[in-house]
Structure 1
């Protein structure tokens, strides 16, 4: 069987029963296989075809290992342990990846001017690095230790050579951009625009896996029953074992939203000790909304795609007040919006955008509920319509 094809089909949830067993044998064969699978999961879905991932070609490494070891002469249906072959294959791929990363690091780095719109990586010693999404590089600290490897819009800490002590890095994403992380345990984190995540370079054996979020992120947590995963912010803690969920906790918002896609999560206060009985439990398909002012939590069943569409570049709006929409537009399009037509603030809209420009988005809203707007570079002013049209009471679909 072609392991690359099986991996791609597994990510797309398209495996047969026999292929699923084959995949489980492969991923359970080694830690390297598990981490490789996490990296492939983080790739752009459009690239998830066997012919599109030649640079991570498991079969190529596999065949080279087989050729060197003489194992290629063995029939694949023989009694030779298939897990051993797969383990060697993954090690070969990781070796090639490491060599490529070192080559990139050895190239003279281009010195960039300070850019307020750059992705910022803050190291444990306070040193600040600027990250460009087109970079391929190895991130090394002042002691010469590998922290992680950047491959375009993803930073992977499973390569870290840090072994002692709890050392934190902090990654800040500016408006208008998105970025992803693979943490040292293989957990995949997608960070939305205007978000900051503080996280250990290496999780410590015997301790909980805790990270700190300001903004919005989607977590695909690697399951580890002995080491619970906790996402913390100034208002609450979210504790999981292994699951997929979205958290929106921008400091300027009045509420914190947690939407569970898969698994189970527990929610409890920032100053509280986790109590399995007292903590609030969230089930898949539900949203927990924490009101920062009233200190109350509410639950409702939701369409999770509405809250996770941002990872695919979509702006999904469902019966959302206009003042909330403006916050999302500012983050996604990296603009400043001054609304001088306050009657619009509580007007609700429903819409979905993906490739539209900011002007096309505003034009769409203005066609539903008339208003004027001016765009001057990165600054937008919204004004009352020149002809005082009454607001239409029907939400935009």
Structure 2
């Protein structure tokens, strides 16, 4: 690929004429270039237009991080030059599978179901299996989903516990028909069967989305360490990760939220609202529900999050370990929206905006001051 053809491809990008494949290639590999020695002649206006297009689509800046915008512009011309280098253009044309220059090997941990008698069952999401209790079918597993069967004769609550490791998500249907989608790094304790004349109650650590089957006689209760959510039948998300304020976002219906130490004082919210416990009181605010549920689509969304909390999200989604030795970054806040990027692509995006270096040692990512 000569300079003329490379320049033509970048010009197409500025004019929004790239195919989806060409656009994805340009955006994905801009931030991942390591070699800054290649030179390439481009009009300055084209350089800046391409760079600003990419920044506007892949990374937003708030007031507290404006100072880092100059860091982006500092690298803009060099990165655009590198992007157009014959090495990567040729690799794009001649190869169907382009891989980052740096790869981080991760081991996919198993999803574990612990039964009431302390048996631990490893869930193979590539297989189908049936689970029995005292000779009776209680659950069928198909791929990445559980379907627990209703047993009207059950009179005693028997709890199972499912653990979802980092890098995985899992779906399940409880015996009352309630659908649950569990995020990475979450644990749900739930009855194999709900019992008549008793509340439908589950216990969550982490994050999950619930679509609760309506039943006026038997309220559905989600317990976390700090808050509880009581519903009759509705759709909502609960986030109880340790680094976040315990919170719930309502997508449909209505719910009552309370702190575990004061269950009588309940806060009712309506769709489009988030209830969260902060400064020893329950707070309510309007939110974008679609953004709050973006994790269900595999998206990694940062909405003015502190870098220290962003690290936690990256670790959960990609099942990696990150050690941050550049602690000055921890309180900085960022916005961003990622989906199909590799962990290396994501780190390189932050690297150019926040100005840090990183190394990979023994499968651990170490962030250092530049």
What TM-score, normalized by structure 1, do the two folds share?
0.64
- The equivalent of 1:224 in structure 2 is 215
* The one of 226, 234, 238 aligned to 2:229: 238
- Could you tell me which runs of 5 or more consecutive residues in structure 2 were left unpaired when the two chains were aligned: 1-106
* Residue correspondence of structure 1 range 161-200 to structure 2 within 5 A: 163-200=154-191
For residues 304 and 123 of structure 2, the distance between their equivalents in structure 1, rounded to whole angstroms, comes to: 36
Equivalent pair of 1:173/1:195 in contact (CA under 8 Å): yes
Distance 1:173 1:117, change over 3 A: same
Structure 1 position 337 matched with structure 2 position 322: yes
* The one of 187, 202, 209 aligned to 1:211: 202
* Residue correspondence of structure 1 range 136-155 to structure 2 within 5 A: 136-141=128-133, 143-155=134-146
| 1:162, distance to aligned residue in structure 2 (A) | 6.9
* The one of 103, 112, 120 aligned to 2:112: 120
Structure 1 position 247 matched with structure 2 position 232: no
Distance 1:382 1:160, change over 3 A: farther
| 1:269, distance to aligned residue in structure 2 (A) | 2.6
- Paired residue secondary structure (2:295): helix
- Paired residue secondary structure (2:175): coil
* The one of 148, 162, 177 aligned to 1:157: 148
Distance 1:312 1:377, change over 3 A: farther
| 1:145, distance to aligned residue in structure 2 (A) | 2.2
Equivalent pair of 2:320/2:365 in contact (CA under 8 Å): yes
* Residue correspondence of structure 1 range 66-81 to structure 2 within 5 A: none
| 1:271, distance to aligned residue in structure 2 (A) | 4.3
For residues 330 and 337 of structure 2, the distance between their equivalents in structure 1, rounded to whole angstroms, comes to: 19
- The equivalent of 1:286 in structure 2 is 273
Equivalent pair of 2:150/2:176 in contact (CA under 8 Å): no
For residues 295 and 157 of structure 2, the distance between their equivalents in structure 1, rounded to whole angstroms, comes to: 32
Please report the RMSD computed on the Cα atoms of aligned residues, expressed in angstroms.
1.7
- Paired residue secondary structure (1:360): helix
Structure possessing the higher relative contact order (Cα contacts under 8 Å, 6 or more residues apart) = 2
| 1:160, distance to aligned residue in structure 2 (A) | 5.6
Structure 1 position 368 matched with structure 2 position 366: no
| 1:228, distance to aligned residue in structure 2 (A) | 0.7
Q: Determine which structure has the larger strand proportion and give its number.
A: 2
Distance 1:374 1:162, change over 3 A: farther
- The equivalent of 2:280 in structure 1 is 295
* The one of 320, 331, 354 aligned to 2:305: 320
- The equivalent of 1:308 in structure 2 is 293
| 1:338, distance to aligned residue in structure 2 (A) | 0.4
Equivalent pair of 2:108/2:167 in contact (CA under 8 Å): no
* Residue correspondence of structure 1 range 127-138 to structure 2 within 5 A: 127-138=119-130
Equivalent pair of 1:146/1:160 in contact (CA under 8 Å): no
Distance 1:119 1:314, change over 3 A: same
| 1:296, distance to aligned residue in structure 2 (A) | 2.2
For residues 329 and 165 of structure 2, the distance between their equivalents in structure 1, rounded to whole angstroms, comes to: 27
What TM-score, normalized by structure 2, do the two folds share?
0.68
For residues 117 and 304 of structure 1, the distance between their equivalents in structure 2, rounded to whole angstroms, comes to: 30
- The equivalent of 1:269 in structure 2 is 259
Distance 1:214 1:263, change over 3 A: same
For residues 165 and 359 of structure 1, the distance between their equivalents in structure 2, rounded to whole angstroms, comes to: 49
For residues 116 and 178 of structure 1, the distance between their equivalents in structure 2, rounded to whole angstroms, comes to: 12
For residues 202 and 271 of structure 1, the distance between their equivalents in structure 2, rounded to whole angstroms, comes to: 27
- Could you tell me which runs of 5 or more consecutive residues in structure 1 were left unpaired when the two chains were aligned: 1-114, 386-397
- Paired residue secondary structure (1:279): strand
- Paired residue secondary structure (2:243): coil
Moved >6 Å (runs of 4+): none
Deviations 1:228-270 (A, max 9, x none): 11000121210011111111102x3251121111111101232
Equivalent pair of 1:145/1:161 in contact (CA under 8 Å): no
Aligned length: 264
Distance 1:160 1:341, change over 3 A: farther
Deviations 1:297-346 (A, max 9, x none): 22211111222111111111111111110000011111110001111111
